Structure 1
Amino acid sequence: MRLSLALSLLAAGASPPPSAETIQSLDVVIPLISSPLVSDGKTILAFEIHATNLSDIPLRLQNVRIVDADDGQAIATYSNEVLRQRVAQPGAGASSEAGSIGAGARAIVYVEPELPAGMRPRAVRIEMDGVAPNGHPFTLRSPPATVDRTQIPVLAPPFKDGTWVAVHDPSWARGHRRVIYTLDGRARIPGRYAVDWVGVDARGRVSTNDPDRPADAVGYDAAVLAGADAVVAATRDNMGEAGSIAGNPAHALGDGSGNYVVLRVARNRYAFYEHLRPGSIIVRAGDHVRMGQAIGAVGFTGDTTGPHLHLHVADCPLPLACEGVPFLVRGMTEVGRYRSLSDLGVKQWQDDNARGPLGPEWPGYNVVVRFTD
């Protein structure tokens, strides 16, 4: 959904004098608003707002509001530090001024609004407040952006047993949510809802012996299970592993996912199981697999800082050229959460939010789960 609106440099509600100045606006694009999904017991939307400043002056965002387009009911407001943490400028690096969109620059606002109880909006509207260099405020109000209603696939657990940390967080600069691939003339986020499953033991350790040896990782070689009755859409099993975690080299763009299996779990819905151990993949394209069937094993292939299973769902079977879409996992029991991932591998998780068994959910940020299927 695209819009381009003029921004009046006037306070809201003021009568425009004859000399009122009008400037070019932000060009706003919302690539995709996926179906609402349940995570951490809450119903949320997760999407991005792309705002490009086509004027020759910088514009600073102060507030971003999301409202139900039909009745105007407020869904969420992002302001001050909360907003600044959600604004990123691709390619600008740390030198860019937080919240300010420079002339000719693009900013992306990452939002995950929680829906009020009972609300399932047909469409949402975005409102942005900001200020121009001369100090005058502006407000941008978007046309409605439709919320997708495609049914969200529910996947069975990727593992039979063990304790696993669902590593992901939209605030990380290099987290999956903020990694954009621009291929074939279009920017996409394949890992919008991706989860990295990292195995831990009862003390929170990720390694049983040498932390630099991949085979000593707690989750290494664990059987990876198909999440649904599905058709195998693609596989790759020709990449080797580095002998040490520190010695894992950089990979070409198309090789970052390592060895993988892609399952067609529904129409236009493909589940990706990545970084699998060399030689462990026991299916091939065209095979029909049953839910819970072993398809490979956790490994250390591709771009990774340690053995784990990367899992995401996308709208086509290509690792980098598809849009990431929501999925739910059933059979989980939360035993805790890591509030700081710097503790992963050195401390046990915090267990004050333990809950379950859960209904189908998208795993919360950095929660620790055991599977009960």
Structure 2
Amino acid sequence: MRFFRRLMLCVAPALLGVAASEPLSESFDVSVPQLPQIVATDGGKAVRYELHLTNFATVPLAVRGILVTDADTGKILRSFSRRPLLTHLIPLSGTRDDPSSARVTIQPGARAVLYVELSGPLPRRIGHTVDYVAACETCPLRLEIPAVAVNQAAAVTLAPPLAAGPWAAVQSPDWPRGHRRVVYTLDGKARIPGRYAIDWVGLDDAGRTTRGDPDRAVDAIGYDAPVLAGADARVAAVRDGMVESASIARNPDHVLGDGSGNYVALDLGQGRYAFYEHLRPGSIQVKVGQRVRRGQAIGALGFSGDTTGPHLHLHVANGLDPLKAEGIPFVIDSYTEIGRYDDIGALGSKPWQSAGPTRKSHEWPASNVVVRFR
């Protein structure tokens, strides 16, 4: 979805033919590549999406604030200014403003992405207002972006991908290189396949992730755990045979297409696919075209591909490729939340912050919660 609108706040009669005195000012080319879709999580509702701002002007454009609103009522849903603006509006060029400037400058020909997360009561349409300045520092400009519709389709429901536990559901929208913020541009299109991805890490009751040598993949607590099909589905893709590094620290870098390691993709219907990645080599028990049943073992948790430790990567996307598809939300039909890590750096060395236990039904696990499955 692409919108073009130039808001004029400094008029010139010769240009506009009106009795005002403000010249035309160039603004941003704006797009929302993937419509926000509601998912149940953490006892409420939430959406994740991105606003792309591209500068085709010949001068830098400096964003000073962005308001996210209910397009029908005008209610402010979220305000990005100062630090929140600096941490959520990310120039893809890698150039960043001095934090004291409280603005994000987008250079000519460059693009920045605003990563948006909203929770609570959600509207049917979302509005955005961008406040910025161009060459005239004393002349503030404002861009009103046409409303973005919220996708009302129900999120995909999956059965637990693993058994027992505890398991840490490792994900956060704020990590600079977390799945939620990694953009892959392939076949002429930029996408975020891991928008709702979760990395499942096995724990013991003390929060440890290993039973022995922390550098040996096979000593990880979750290693070789059966990975379970999330639905009655058809096996759409399989990759097996990628070897694992015996040493976690010496796991080599992989070419882009091999980062997912060994994986199974299940066709859930309606153009939706579930990806189970980093499986142990030789553990995959299914073939392309085979029908699987909900809860059936399809492989085992491993350490193949690009990973800093054994875990199961799970995401759902709208296409049959680990990278060439947009991530879409999913929920787990049943699990018990027993706490969470407020500081994910403590994972593996300290227990989580206990809470509950709270039985969850048809929710997407929130950031860094710890769960048990039946």
| Residue from 221, 229, 248 that aligns with 1:245 | 248
Can you list the C-alpha shifts for 1:7-45, whole angstroms capped at 9, x where unaligned? 43559xxxx974423221111100112321111112111
SS in 2 for 1:263: strand
Q: Is the 8 A contact 2:217 2:309 kept in 1?
A: yes
Can you list the C-alpha shifts for 1:180-223, whole angstroms capped at 9, x where unaligned? 11111111111111000011111111111100000000100000
Residue 265 of structure 1, CA deviation: 1.7
- Separation (CA, whole Å) in 2 of partners of 1:330 and 1:277: 26
Can you list the C-alpha shifts for 1:279-326, whole angstroms capped at 9, x where unaligned? 000001111111010000000000000000000000111111111111
SS in 1 for 2:83: helix
Code of the residue aligned with 2:89 in structure 1: it is V
Q: Residue in 2 aligned with 1:278?
A: 281
| Residue from 145, 156, 160 that aligns with 1:157 | 160
Q: Residue in 1 aligned with 2:228?
A: 225
Unaligned 5+ segments in structure 1 are none
Bigger Cα displacement from structure 2, 306-315 vs 75-84: 75-84
TM-score under structure 2 length normalisation: 0.92
SS in 2 for 1:77: strand
TM-score under structure 1 length normalisation: 0.93
Bigger Cα displacement from structure 2, 77-86 vs 247-256: 77-86
Q: CA RMSD in A?
A: 1.9
Code of the residue aligned with 2:300 in structure 1: it is A
Q: Is the 8 A contact 1:34 1:325 kept in 2?
A: no
| Residue from 99, 108, 111 that aligns with 2:113 | 108
Q: Residue in 1 aligned with 2:298?
A: 295
Q: Is the 8 A contact 1:3 1:29 kept in 2?
A: yes
| Residue from 56, 59, 72 that aligns with 1:57 | 59
Q: Residue in 1 aligned with 2:126?
A: 124
SS in 2 for 1:317: coil
Code of the residue aligned with 1:130 in structure 2: it is Y
Can you list the C-alpha shifts for 1:34-62, whole angstroms capped at 9, x where unaligned? 32111111211110000011112222222
Q: Residue in 1 aligned with 2:49?
A: 47
Q: Is the 8 A contact 1:159 1:222 kept in 2?
A: yes
| Residue from 29, 33, 36 that aligns with 2:35 | 33
Q: Is the 8 A contact 2:10 2:21 kept in 1?
A: no
- Separation (CA, whole Å) in 2 of partners of 1:196 and 1:208: 20
- Separation (CA, whole Å) in 2 of partners of 1:143 and 1:238: 49
Q: Is the 8 A contact 2:93 2:110 kept in 1?
A: no
- Separation (CA, whole Å) in 1 of partners of 2:186 and 2:248: 29
Q: Is the 8 A contact 1:203 1:348 kept in 2?
A: yes
- Separation (CA, whole Å) in 2 of partners of 1:60 and 1:17: 29
Can you list the C-alpha shifts for 1:75-132, whole angstroms capped at 9, x where unaligned? 222222122211112241567876222222111000111132xx4x332221112233
Can you list the C-alpha shifts for 1:234-253, whole angstroms capped at 9, x where unaligned? 10002000110011101010
Code of the residue aligned with 1:53 in structure 2: it is N
Q: Residue in 1 aligned with 2:3?
A: 3
Code of the residue aligned with 1:110 in structure 2: it is Y
* Distance change >3 Å, CA 153–CA 77, structure 1 → 2: same
- Separation (CA, whole Å) in 2 of partners of 1:291 and 1:204: 29
SS in 1 for 2:222: coil
SS in 2 for 1:240: coil
Q: Residue in 2 aligned with 1:216?
A: 219
Code of the residue aligned with 1:290 in structure 2: it is R
SS in 2 for 1:280: coil
Number of aligned residue pairs: give it. 364
* Distance change >3 Å, CA 225–CA 96, structure 1 → 2: farther
Q: Is the 8 A contact 1:153 1:266 kept in 2?
A: no
2:254 counterpart of 1:254: no
Q: Residue in 1 aligned with 2:361?
A: 359
- Separation (CA, whole Å) in 2 of partners of 1:42 and 1:90: 32
SS in 2 for 1:220: coil
* Distance change >3 Å, CA 101–CA 94, structure 1 → 2: closer
Q: Residue in 1 aligned with 2:14?
A: none
| Residue from 188, 192, 213 that aligns with 1:189 | 192
Q: Is the 8 A contact 2:36 2:149 kept in 1?
A: no
* Distance change >3 Å, CA 61–CA 337, structure 1 → 2: same
2:333 counterpart of 1:330: yes
- Separation (CA, whole Å) in 2 of partners of 1:94 and 1:249: 30
Q: Is the 8 A contact 2:93 2:111 kept in 1?
A: no
- Separation (CA, whole Å) in 2 of partners of 1:365 and 1:195: 9
* Distance change >3 Å, CA 10–CA 218, structure 1 → 2: farther
2:104 counterpart of 1:99: yes
Q: Is the 8 A contact 1:76 1:114 kept in 2?
A: no
Q: Is the 8 A contact 1:182 1:188 kept in 2?
A: yes
Q: Residue in 2 aligned with 1:81?
A: 83
Residue 349 of structure 1, CA deviation: 0.9
Q: Is the 8 A contact 2:275 2:314 kept in 1?
A: yes
